[in-house]
């Protein structure tokens, strides 16, 4: 199905099929500027990977030449200072300026074009010349977590929240275009990617994290991998509704964070560690100062919290201006924090400072790459982190996240406490056969810590957990998923207004 404007050789192509053997898995719309894009996901019988198709604006060769002439004339007339491109607001300001001038040029070269087609052409020119081309269409889809270019010889791939990896109907025109996009991304953040320096780790001004490699390091072609920033942060309501965690584990996590027990979230790549960290931070009382430290900003905490987010910075090409995770961790202790959140613990010095912070009365939350509670202890006590096992009891709990690559389901795998000897003691664990978290044993160490500092008996703790479960069920029943609304509910709970 297509709608064409033959007078200027423009058409919106919607990839469809009449093959009855092809199964349509999903269909929805996304908006890009003033344009509505149709998305359809198909499973072809001869292909093992489903295909993600989006409607794209195709232009004839004649129209493409005219659009290139418009671009050249536009570039010759518009000069924008680099200082304007510092955040997403600056980008939108620039696009607004572009749109006015491009509209004038389109009317000059296409005087009879209607408004809808004009808008399509404007979006097309902006996307192809100052954006990331048709990849921008994919970045606007909130259902996608990852967008990857492997080479110009194969389609762009995406990681869909529901369907996992999918091929798309979008291709890079050539390797030079991929390299141009990588160079443009690097330039915008004060970095460079060249033949001598063929690896890039950066982030877009929208918060999306980017990794790029150049040939011949990646010998099949230049690559770009974009991990999208979550526009809508995950909340405990989302996790409970999707069965990522159950009510008992969520209530216990809430109780632990309310009473300032330090928690480490472990898991493999893509298991939802950072998302769980964001969810856990929702439980922090509103009258406490929270300092978060990340390499790339991924956390979004409720507005009700006293929150100061900080991010590291790599040095410039001359090796100057870098701010490390250790720099920020040490600095955070001078900011009178009640809670410290660290995106990821990777090195010994960072871990030593954080455990020292725990011993001096700060509550610390962070993530670490490990597949289970036992492996987490091993990671902490061996190089490159290598902290003494004797300091581990300052960390009260380990929450392990897991992603099943076969089913694409993310689940809390284990909830463990740390014994006085620094060993993990698993309290709850996922049963993969029933897809339910089972309680293995009662808490001893965490209970004794809570009893010491709050005076709560085991019966009072059980009553408190039941009350928390009822509140969590209330959130799910009313489908309150906005991070700021969820934060307001917890703020009211802590101040006795709920």
Tens digits of per-residue pLDDT, 269-283? Answer: 889 999 999 999 999
What kind of architecture, by CATH, is found in domain 236-494?
A: 3-Layer(aba) Sandwich (3.40)
Provide the 10 A C-beta neighbour count for residue 361: 8
What mean pLDDT comes out for the span 259-274? 94
Same fold, 2-227 and 236-494: no
Mean pLDDT, rounded, of the chain: 86
Q: How confident is the model at residue 141 (pLDDT cuts 50, 70, 90)?
A: very high
* Model pLDDT, residue 3: 41
The pTM is what? 0.78
pLDDT, greater one: 181 or 33: 181
**Would you say 162 and 178 are in contact if contact means Cβ atoms under 8 Å apart?**
no
Whether residue 400 has pLDDT greater than 60: yes
CATH 3.40.50.620 fits 2-227, yes or no: no
Whether residue 297 has pLDDT greater than 70: yes
CA distance 420 to 364: 18
Q: How confident is the model at residue 493 (pLDDT cuts 50, 70, 90)?
A: very high
CA distances from 292 to 116, 202, 232, 263, 276 (A): 45, 19, 18, 14, 14
* Model pLDDT, residue 134: 82
Whether residue 381 has pLDDT greater than 70: yes
Query: CB within 8 A of 308, min separation 6: which ones?
Result: 289, 290, 291, 292, 335
Phi, psi of 410 (to 5 degrees): -100, 130
Using DSSP bridges, classify how beta strands 363-369 and 263-267 pair: parallel, antiparallel or unpaired: parallel
**Across 95-208, where does the E strand assignment appear?**
144-149, 157-160, 164-168, 199-203
The backbone region for 408, taken as left when phi is positive above 0, alpha when psi lies in -120 to 50, beta otherwise, is left
- The domains of the chain are located at 2-227, 236-494
């Amino acid at each position: 199905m297509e709608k064409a404007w033959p007078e200027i050789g423009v058409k919106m192509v919607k990839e469809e099929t009449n093959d009855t053997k092809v199964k349509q898995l999903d269909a929805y719309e996304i908006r890009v500027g003033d344009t509505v894009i149709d998305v359809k996901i198909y499973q072809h019988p001869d292909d093992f990977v489903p295909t993600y198709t989006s409607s794209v604006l195709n232009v004839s060769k004649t129209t493409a030449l005219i659009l290139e002439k418009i671009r050249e004339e536009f570039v010759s007339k518009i000069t924008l200072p680099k200082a304007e491109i510092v955040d997403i607001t600056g980008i939108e300001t620039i696009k607004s300026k572009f749109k006015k001038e491009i509209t004038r040029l389109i009317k000059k070269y296409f005087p009879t074009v209607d408004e809808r087609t004009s808008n399509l052409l404007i979006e097309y020119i902006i996307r192809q010349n100052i954006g990331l081309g048709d990849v921008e269409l994919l970045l606007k889809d909130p259902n996608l977590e990852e967008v990857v270019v492997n080479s110009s010889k194969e389609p762009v791939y995406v990681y869909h929240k529901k369907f996992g990896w999918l091929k798309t109907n979008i291709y890079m025109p050539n390797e030079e275009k991929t390299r141009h996009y990588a160079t443009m991304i690097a330039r915008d953040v004060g970095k460079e990617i060249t033949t001598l320096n063929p690896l890039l780790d950066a982030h877009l001004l929208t918060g999306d994290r980017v990794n790029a490699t150049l040939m011949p390091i990646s010998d099949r072609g230049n690559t770009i991998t974009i991990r999208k920033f979550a526009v809508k942060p995950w909340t405990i309501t989302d996790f409970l509704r999707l069965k990522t965690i159950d009510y008992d584990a969520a209530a216990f996590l809430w109780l632990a964070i309310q009473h300032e027990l330090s928690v480490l979230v472990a898991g493999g790549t893509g298991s939802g560690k950072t998302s769980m960290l964001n969810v856990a931070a929702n439980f922090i009382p509103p009258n406490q100062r929270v300092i978060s430290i990340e390499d790339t900003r991924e956390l979004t905490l409720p507005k009700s919290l006293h929150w100061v987010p900080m991010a590291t910075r790599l040095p410039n090409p001359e090796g100057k201006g870098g701010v490390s995770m250790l720099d920020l961790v040490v600095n955070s202790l001078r900011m009178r924090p009640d809670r410290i959140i660290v995106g990821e613990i990777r090195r010994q010095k960072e871990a030593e400072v954080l455990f020292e912070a725990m011993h001096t009365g700060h509550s610390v939350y962070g993530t670490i790459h490990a597949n289970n509670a036992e492996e987490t202890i091993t990671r902490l006590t061996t190089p490159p982190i290598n902290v003494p096992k004797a300091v581990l009891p300052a960390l009260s709990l380990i929450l392990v996240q897991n992603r099943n690559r076969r089913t694409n389901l993310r689940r809390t795998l284990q909830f463990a406490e740390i014994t006085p000897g620094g060993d993990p003691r698993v309290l709850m664990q996922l049963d993969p056969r029933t897809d339910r978290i089972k309680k293995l044993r009662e808490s001893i160490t965490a209970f004794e810590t809570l009893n010491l500092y709050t005076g709560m008996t085991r019966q009072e703790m059980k009553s408190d957990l039941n009350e928390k479960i009822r509140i969590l069920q209330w959130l799910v029943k009313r489908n309150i998923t906005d991070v700021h609304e969820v934060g307001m509910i917890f703020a009211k709970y802590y101040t006795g207004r709920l």
